[in-house]
Amino acid sequence: MVDRALGSSVDANRPSASINPFALFFREFLRHPVMIGSIIPSSRRTIDAMLAPVDWSRTKLFVEYGPGVGTFCGTILERLPADATLLVIDTNPVFIDFLRRKFSDSRFVAVHGSAADVNEIVAAHGFDKADYVLSGLPFSTLPGGMGPAIAEATHRVLAPGGSFLVYQYSAYVLSLLEPLFESIDRDLEWWNIPPCGLFWAHKAAGE
């Protein structure tokens, strides 16, 4: 399903515009620890390092899985061309509601759905392929079969020469990326709490 209506059960938990994003992130981590990669949002150094290889001049569609409270979103929107789109996907309707209130930018689209359905979601919003996909989803703790499904769907949705940008606290994700992508670069951001592995998986230009 591409998007789901936010029902009355969500309304009861709807974040106000003034809620502290760190408090919201922590609350949702306690509710859904398996689906959220860390107890606190990523550091500024991690954001800058993760996005450093992006060629913004050729970016038309940038997709993010599990945006949480939008820790990466603001920086992406600052760098994104005026005619490009940032499409974020999260299974948590509380985060999606918060993000829709937080970002009024016309280039920003927040979808309540699963990253495994990224191809359908991208098509529903008028795009054929994504140039970049960013994910902080905890692949090592996702429900059985979900990690491989997301990795395969991401490879399909990326344009030739596109990249899957992944930040993780476990190297498990490499076992999902290596069979699919032509090359993978990696680094470690020690200043993040906890230290964070950074992975850039590149799809072959000829695929």
Residue 158, H or E segment: strand 158-168
Q: Report whether pLDDT(147) > 70.
A: yes
| Per-residue pLDDT, 189 | 86
Distance CA 181, CA 78 (A): 28
Which residue, 86, 115, 90, is CA-closest to 103? Answer: 86
> By three-state DSSP, how is residue 112 classified?
strand
Residue count (the chain): 207
Residue that is written with structure tokens 């209506």 in the block: 5
**Widest distance between CA atoms in the chain:** 49
Q: What is the pLDDT of residues 21-45, one digit of tens each?
A: 455 554 545 554 444 444 445 688 9
| Per-residue pLDDT, 204 | 97
| Per-residue pLDDT, 57 | 98
Distance CA 30, CA 28 (A): 5
The domains found in the chain, sorted by start residue, are: 19-202 (3.40.50.150)
Which residue, 187, 182, 186, is CA-closest to 205? Answer: 182
Task: Average the pLDDT over 95-105 and give the result.
Answer: 93
| Per-residue pLDDT, 74 | 96
Tokens of 203: 């799809």
- Average pLDDT of the chain, as a whole number: 85
Enter the pTM of the model.
0.82
> By three-state DSSP, how is residue 155 classified?
helix
Q: Report whether pLDDT(62) > 90.
A: yes
Distance CA 200, CA 89 (A): 19
